[in-house]
Every structure is written in structure tokens, then in C-alpha cells.
Structure 1
Amino acid sequence: MKKIPSVDLSEFISDDTTKKKKFIKEIGEAFEEIGFVALRGHFLSDELSAKLYTEVKLFFDLPEEIKQSYEIEGIGGQRGFTSFGKESAKGKKEGDLKEFWHFGQEVVDNEKLKAEYPKNVLVKEVPNFNEVGMEAYKKLEKTAIYVLRALALHIGLDELYFDKYVINGNSILRSIYYPPIKGEPKGAVRAAAHGDINLITLLMGASAAGLQVKNKQGEWIEVTALPEQLVINVGDMLERLTNNKLRSTIHRVVNPPREDWDKPRYSIPFFTHPISEMPLNCLPECITETHPKVYDDITAGEFLNERLKELGLLK
């Protein structure tokens, strides 16, 4: 596979059974083969996407001391600002050449979860930043719910299997800023090769090239999508849950050619996380004689904490 497949969510949402089955087959096969798709027909408008990028650029243009005043210690970077170079890929000592901001869940009708999740951090200097960020969060979350419904049917589960885990889940909208590269990176890249922790990731169109995914042949493929498409990939939680049926594919963001080192890059992924109590035990539907169970039982919360420590975000 030399490029990621393109699918249309409007087919799944339609009342046409044939179109719905077509979408389930296409996204299911793509996630088994390469773990990535380009998705159109989603709920995030081009206008809202453009508004969010405007707000994100305004935030990252703030003076360093102001941005760092929004960095909250002791929560693994789950809300607010995380400064440059603090996150590294699993097994890599060099920090990634990026800084980022996290918007998190605004819980509805569940006091236990409201107490469990850190509160979102409000930015005074960019008045529309939080409002636009959370509006985009909700549209991406809605898209993720429908994608997971299609995947549930592909796996052989009830269509609404994931709803109880991802509605009010611990999902994160991350705004990333990769500053211009000012000197020889010495082994560091904008984002080292990694798999995502979560169930699925939804990526809004980045401001510059650089995202690559590794196919089954071990080749690095450039990920390209049209401006109106979201790039969606399987995370480690979903790979584990499906006993490797759906693939969490290794991907990276490479440094640009030297002549483009002076250009920054912005990227906004939505990491779909379930509630921490969700069991990630391999589903019986994905265990066979030829594919025996390969993972120990664990909850989503336990798995997340393990990985945040490996990334250097939690002590």
C-alpha cells in the first residue's frame, strides 16, 4: 500500500444500507491493512477548522513567559501548555521539537468523572481561544463516535459498543507548534516514530508536510489529505482491544529540508480516549486458534498512566 485510503463518513450516516456496509468494509479493511484513512463527510466545518488555526497561532505567538504560566505541574500535561522538548517518543531520549496545548473533556451529568479529570485552563490573552477550541473538540468527538460505531460493526460487536466508554471519555484535543529549526537538531525530530496511545486519532490538516506512516513492507509513506479531510488512525488501545486485528501503525513527523528550517509547522490532532475504567482485554471476537490472545488484561486508565511515564510526561 503506497498511500492511505480515502473514505466518506456521510455514507455510514446515510439511510442507504448498501452505502453503510460499503463504508464499514472500506474503513475496516484500511485499519487492518495500514491503520490510516483520509475521511471526508465529517462534522468539522472548514470554517471552524480555519478559525481554530487562527486562534492557535495567536496563542503560540504569545511571549514564552506567558505560555509557561499556563503549564500545570503534576498532571502529565493533560491540560494547558507543555513547553518545548518535554515529550519524547517511547524509547527515545531526545525530546521532540515541539510544544503543545491540551483541551480536555467538559463532563456532562457525571460528577465522578468531573472530579477525576483536570479542569481546562482558560487563556486570558486570546479571548476566543478556549471557546473555538472546545467547539472543535465537540465536532471531532462526534465524528470519532460515528467512526467507532462503524468499527464496532466491522469487529462483530453491537454498533453502540464504544458509546458508553467514549461519551464523557478522557479525550484530548492537542494543538501543536513546531517552531522554526534554528540549529542542527542532533538526532531530534519534530515527532519521533511512535504509535498513539488512544483508541483512534483524528488529525485536522496540518499547516505543512512532514507526517509519514510506515506500511507493512517497512516503507515510510507521506500522508497527504485534502484540506476538507481528516486523517484518522488506530491507536494502541484499539490495537490491543482487537488483539492486533486493527493496526496501530508507527508514524512520525520528519524535519523539513534545510531550506525550510525557518518555517514553523502547526498541527491539531484529537486523541479519542475512553473513560479510565474501560477494559482493554482482548475481545473474544478477535481471538481464534490461529490468532490467540497476545495481551494481558488492563484498563484504559492503567495503560494511559504506563505510557505517560514512558513519554516522560509523568514521573
Structure 2
Amino acid sequence: MSIPVVDFSAFSLNVEDISTADLDHLSRDIRKAFTEVGFVFLDNTGITQAEVDRVMGASRRFFLQPDHFKKLFRRKTFPSCPLHGWIPIETERVNPETPGDLKESFNMTSLHPDIKWPSPEIAAGFQETQTAFFQRCKELSLRILKVMAHSLDLDPDVFLGAHRWIGTDDNTTTLRSLYYPPVKRELAKEGQLRCGEHSDYGSITLLFQDSEGLQVHERSGEFISAPCIPGAILVNIADMMQRWTNDKFISVLHRVLLPPAGDSTTRQALAFFVMPDDQTVITCTDGSDKYPPVQLSAYLAERFSYIYADD
């Protein structure tokens, strides 16, 4: 089964609101994708490829700086926002059973004006593009959540009301810039990947990628390669949303493979991890008790303790 492509133009960032007929049509397409595959490509969202390219360009300028410079902005450097900042290569193990991932990243989780950023002379446009893109992704995510609620015959506030504080210290929604440096396959450790098999943690994830390499786990048990569609956004369900919807929407494993032997190209991606507000207590929307109530902040703390076990 391939990942479906859905036209989101009826509720793109370029329109103020959506008609009931368009909302019904879009909801059917979204529900089908998220109940059967867990992933969907959204086209014509209002976020352009040119915007994505600008953010990736500024991010690349940061990642190409020497490590001694990037360490000034390392994760856990900012007491008020410990998730914010740079994460070196092989620091994360999103699959705790495998060696560290062959990627580095920069997490933007804070919009505070006092957060330290690389100077424009070193990484031109980095702060400006990250901040602006965060806001664009936030707005689009709220529209997607509204459609998702409608697809389940829920009041939109069931989801929207739990995401009121995105961009503040009361919410850990993160814009992550990812850089996968060149890899020599013969030097990689056994079982090592650019990003190990994992599922995401929160509500939904928006992914922008500049090349192929991502694979998605099918219900058949096999992995399929996700194509790279310029201008389209790959959106997937995360674990908390699956729990929230009592398994109606499915969160599935995915991974980023090593490049083929002899391929020395880099890979970049931007991931916008949408999280409910920290103090939100998630219970099944259908009133069942299949999953016990869980507070988002406690759940995330447990998950992060595994991927950063050696950090």
C-alpha cells in the first residue's frame, strides 16, 4: 500500500475558512489515510517549497560549522528550555536496541526572546527562518487537527483545546532541523542507521525532506519507501494520538536508511513534532478505558529517558 496524497487547498493557509462540504470531503480522505496507513502527503497547504528551501539553507549553514561552535548551543544549555538546542551525531538512539543514529539536529522549542542563537555572521538567517517557519507549521497543524476531529465526529476543541500553548514553556512542540552527513557504510556499526526504527511521541508530525531514505512500516509487516514529493508535506500520526483515539488513528514505525554503498550525499529534513500542552491529561475520546489517563509531560519524560540514556 502506498502513502496517499491529499489535496489540502480547501483549508490551506491561503484561505480564511473552509466550507462544510469541503470539510466533509477532506475529513473522509484524512480519516482513510490515518486509519489505514498512519501517513499522508498533504499537497497545496500554503507552505511553499521556497519557504522550506530557505529554512534548510539556513540550517545547513549552522550544521557545517565546527563542533566547538555548535556546542555553545547544545541541548540542555538553556535551563528554561532543556530540549532546545543542538544534538550531536550518535547522541540519540530512537531505537534503544541499536547504536546511536547517524544524524545531528537542532531543536527549536522556545520562542523566548532571551534564548541564545548563532550570530547572523556565522549562520545567516538561522533564527529568523526557524522562528517564522515554526509559526507557519503551528497554524497549519491546528487546521489539520480540526479536520481530524471532524473526521471522528468530535468537537474541534477536543484536540484544539489541548494545543493552546504551542510555542510557550507549557508545551514541548518542537521544530527539528535534521542533518544527515555523508556515511561510509563499511564504517557503520552493526545495525546502525541514519535514524533507527521508531514511532513519534505526540499528536502528529509534519515532515519536510529534501531526498528519499525514509521508510514506513506497513500493516503487512514490510517497510515501504516514502517518496520525496516537492511541495508536499508528509504528515503522520504519533503515539499519543493513537492512544487518544483508542487506536482509530494508527502510529506506525518508520526509519531512515543508510545511503547505498558509494553514495556520499547528505540528507536534510525538517520535522515539526506537535505535542499537546504539558499538563494535558489524555483519555480515550470514545469514553472507553482501553488506555488509562496519562499526563503528557510524564509520558514524554519517560520516552526521552530511553533515547538519551547515554547523554
Q: Distance in 1 between matches of 2:5 and 2:247?
A: 22
TM-score, scaled relative to structure 2: 0.89
- Where does residue 118 of structure 2 map in the other structure? 123
Q: How far off is 1:236 after superposition?
A: 0.5
| Aligned partner letter, 2:247 | N
- Where does residue 44 of structure 1 map in the other structure? 47
Structure 1 position 310 matched with structure 2 position 306 = yes
Aligned residue for 2:277, secondary structure, equals: coil
Structure 1 position 31 matched with structure 2 position 38 = no
Q: Distance in 1 between matches of 2:34 and 2:115?
A: 32
Q: How far off is 1:106 after superposition?
A: 2.6
Q: Distance in 1 between matches of 2:19 and 2:310?
A: 47
- Where does residue 205 of structure 2 map in the other structure? 201
Q: Distance in 2 between matches of 1:160 and 1:281?
A: 14
Structure 1 position 81 matched with structure 2 position 86 = yes
How many residue pairs were aligned? Answer: 296
Aligned residue for 1:227, secondary structure, equals: coil
Q: Distance in 2 between matches of 1:198 and 1:168?
A: 14
Q: How far off is 1:77 after superposition?
A: 5.9
Q: How far off is 1:208 after superposition?
A: 2.1
Aligned residue for 2:281, secondary structure, equals: coil
| Aligned partner letter, 2:180 | Y
Q: How far off is 1:105 after superposition?
A: 4.0
TM-score, scaled relative to structure 1: 0.88
Same amino acid, percent of matched pairs: 28
- Where does residue 169 of structure 2 map in the other structure? none
| Aligned partner letter, 2:272 | F
Q: How far off is 1:37 after superposition?
A: 0.2
Asked if structure 1 preserves the Cα contact closer than 8 Å seen for 2:42 and 2:235, the reply is yes
- Where does residue 111 of structure 1 map in the other structure? none
Asked if structure 2 preserves the Cα contact closer than 8 Å seen for 1:12 and 1:150, the reply is no
- Where does residue 131 of structure 2 map in the other structure? 134
| Aligned partner letter, 1:27 | I
Aligned residue for 2:162, secondary structure, equals: helix
List per-residue Cα deviations over 1:263-314 (Å, max 9, x = no partner): 11111110001211111122225x4xxxxx4322111111111100011269
- Where does residue 110 of structure 1 map in the other structure? none
Where in structure 2 are there 5+ consecutive unaligned residues?
A: 167-171
List per-residue Cα deviations over 1:94-142 (Å, max 9, x = no partner): 11111100112437xxxxxx9xxxx744111214101111111111111
Where in structure 1 are there 5+ consecutive unaligned residues?
A: 108-113, 288-292
Asked if structure 1 preserves the Cα contact closer than 8 Å seen for 2:146 and 2:159, the reply is yes
Aligned residue for 1:266, secondary structure, equals: strand
- Where does residue 7 of structure 1 map in the other structure? 6
